[in-house]
Amino acid sequence: MSLKVTRMTEADIDGAIDTIHQAFKGDPYNEWVYDHSKFNPKRNRYSLRLRCLWGISHGLFYVCRSSDSPKVLGTAMWMPPTPPSEPQSWSLYFSSWWLYFNQVYMNLTFGRGGLITKRYWIWKAAQAQAQKELWTSKTGYYFCNIVTVLPEAQGKGVGRALMEEVLREADERGIDCYLESSRDVPNVAIYEKFGFELVREMDCDDEGDKIKLYCMIRKPKEEQP
């Protein structure tokens, strides 16, 4: 199957969200952070649409499809590296407020949609602490936030095509990559094939009900032994 990876456009968003919904069914983090008896798919789709609109302008958001079909088979959401010493741009500052106010509107319209906010903030605090301690590069990191592939397209090179689109750029620029996986098996071994190394197991604990995330870092290819 011939594959084509392109930057996400607004026309791709619905297809991209479909890949996320299908690929993350049963995901340990989703199972932990949502009360699925109260889950609101409309709210979740609205939230993901906001994130995609924001990421089209400020992130490295990609979709993958077969060269002979318009159907989105996989999605990748990366954040570009930002040196810690670099001030936030005005564009990013205003877009962050745009995202915030739209999320407020979303919560007023749909409610929390089953999101367990206590657990969400437990995760955010653990993530912030991990990144504070692990992100030591002066050039910042390419942050792989999401890579998803439709179940029907798995094993056909879609995930690899999406990963390599950004890994090539990271190698060319000599910049590290970072990700947090919600599964040990099989994800950690898969990411290791791309050059990532497990550097920390991050616990998110809500009074004994906890999950573990796996923090991984990849050095630029030319720096690897």
φ, ψ for residue 18, nearest 5 deg: -60, -40
What is the tens place of the pLDDT at every residue in 45-62?
999 999 999 999 999 999
What is the tens place of the pLDDT at every residue in 81-117?
999 888 889 999 999 999 999 999 999 999 999 999 9
Statement: the pTM of the whole predicted model exceeds 0.85: yes
pLDDT of residue 189: 96
What is the tens place of the pLDDT at every residue in 107-144?
999 999 999 999 999 999 999 999 999 999 999 999 99
pLDDT of residue 72: 97
Q: Which domains can be identified in the chain, with CATH numbers?
A: 3-223 (3.40.630.30)
pLDDT of residue 88: 87
Q: Mean pLDDT, to the nearest integer, of 2-27?
A: 95
The amino acid at residue 111 is: G
Is the pLDDT assigned to residue 225 strictly greater than 60?
no
The tokens for 197 are: 């190394």
State the Cα torsion 100-105-107-109 to the nearest 10°. -170
Is the pLDDT assigned to residue 219 strictly greater than 60?
yes
What is the tens place of the pLDDT at every residue in 181-194?
999 999 999 999 99
Longest dimension (CA), the chain: 52
Is the pLDDT assigned to residue 28 strictly greater than 70?
yes
Is the pLDDT assigned to residue 1 strictly greater than 80?
no
Structure confidence at residue 3 as a pLDDT band (50, 70, 90)? very high
Q: In terms of Cα–Cα distance, which of 168, 3, 156, 15 is closest to 78?
A: 168
Structure confidence at residue 223 as a pLDDT band (50, 70, 90)? low
